């Protein structure tokens, strides 16, 4: 006579699955420079990577207009329209950033890389610091904190930025006057205006 199967008293393990509407607290840091240039922001997990690109530009202080790309795990995301990537071979293949949200692209990962301007090769390390409950009042991204100014566009990447700072702070440098004129007369590498960043971000709506 077959014995009845004993019922297990063990309860199933519950896993918290991040909803796309959860709020992601991100720390964005420009790699290769000291002192660090970083920002801390809140965004919705449901934001498409194509729109997160705009948020990152506004938050860091970039003007835009250069090719960008995300590296998330073993996948690359970016603009797939050849008009935007005319000279960039898709190797590895680039997935359409407009079809992927932050939450879905990340999964359970906590780190990814955002690359802006393939010429200057500005690499940003983006870390998920917290995943917070959904908040219907968060209608625009919010910058919580940050330090130091975004480098000027087309300055030549990290090495070029270091040379730029050396030149504008040394009146005897042969390029002092030329680079001061190029950057508009002055540049403060320590500058960071939280209110101004959030004013820009207020123009963006989830």
User: Quick one: how far is CA 26 from the chain centroid?
Assistant: 8
Contact between 182 and 168 (Cβ < 8 Å) = no
Whether 70 and 164 share a structural domain = no
pLDDT, tens digit (0-9, with 9 covering 90-100), for 8-52: 445 444 444 455 589 999 999 999 999 999 999 999 999 999 999
Q: Give SS3 for 128.
A: strand
| Vertex 106: Cα angle to 105 and 112 (nearest 5) | 110
Whether 31 and 91 share a structural domain = yes
Q: How many CB atoms lie within 10 A of CB 82?
A: 10
The tokens for 163 are 């040379």
Domain assignment present for residue 10? The answer is no
Distance CA 68, CA 19 (A): 27
Query: Does pLDDT of 181 surpass 70?
Result: yes
- Sequence-distant (≥ 6) Cβ neighbours of residue 141 within 8 angstroms: 41, 42, 43, 55, 58, 59, 201, 204, 206
- Residue 68 has phi, psi (to 5 degrees) of -135, 170
Whether 51 and 119 share a structural domain = yes
List the single range of 63-67, 79-83, 94-98 with lowest mean pLDDT: 79-83
Q: How many CB atoms lie within 10 A of CB 124?
A: 22
Whether 163 and 76 share a structural domain = no
Q: Which helix (H) or strand (E) holds 29?
A: strand 23-30
Specify the pLDDT at position 21: 86
Distance CA 57, CA 79 (A): 15
The domain of 101 spans 23-149+191-201
Q: What is the CATH number of the domain that holds 45?
A: 3.10.290.30
Distance CA 186, CA 62 (A): 17
Specify the pLDDT at position 4: 46
Specify the pLDDT at position 119: 95
Specify the pLDDT at position 87: 59
Specify the pLDDT at position 41: 98
Nearest to 151 by CA among 30, 28, 67: 30
Span 184-200, average pLDDT: 97
Specify the pLDDT at position 92: 77
Query: Does pLDDT of 164 surpass 70?
Result: yes
Query: Does pLDDT of 159 surpass 70?
Result: yes
Whether 101 and 158 share a structural domain = no
Domain assignment present for residue 90? The answer is yes
pLDDT, tens digit (0-9, with 9 covering 90-100), for 98-157: 999 999 999 999 999 999 999 999 999 999 999 999 998 999 999 999 999 999 999 999
Which one is predicted more confidently, 198 or 6? 198
């Amino acid at each position: 006579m077959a014995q009845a199967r004993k019922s297990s008293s063990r309860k199933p393990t519950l896993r918290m699955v991040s909803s796309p509407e959860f709020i992601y607290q991100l720390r964005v840091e420009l790699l290769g420079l000291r002192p660090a240039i970083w920002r801390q922001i809140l965004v919705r997990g449901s934001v498409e990577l194509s729109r997160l690109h705009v948020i990152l530009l506004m938050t860091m202080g970039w003007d835009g207009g250069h090719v960008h790309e995300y590296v998330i795990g073993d996948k690359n995301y970016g603009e797939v329209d050849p008009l935007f990537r005319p000279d960039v071979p898709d190797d590895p293949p680039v997935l359409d950033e407009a079809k992927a949200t932050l939450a879905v692209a990340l999964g359970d990962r906590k780190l990814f890389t955002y690359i802006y301007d393939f010429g200057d090769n500005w690499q940003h390390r983006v870390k998920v610091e917290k995943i917070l409950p959904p908040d219907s009042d968060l209608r625009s991204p919010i910058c919580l904190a940050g330090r130091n100014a975004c480098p000027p566009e087309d300055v030549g990447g990290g090495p070029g930025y270091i040379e730029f700072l050396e030149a504008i702070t040394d009146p005897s440098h042969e390029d002092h006057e030329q680079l001061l004129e190029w950057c508009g007369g002055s540049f403060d590498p320590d500058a960071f205006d939280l209110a101004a960043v959030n004013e820009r971000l207020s123009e963006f709506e989830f």
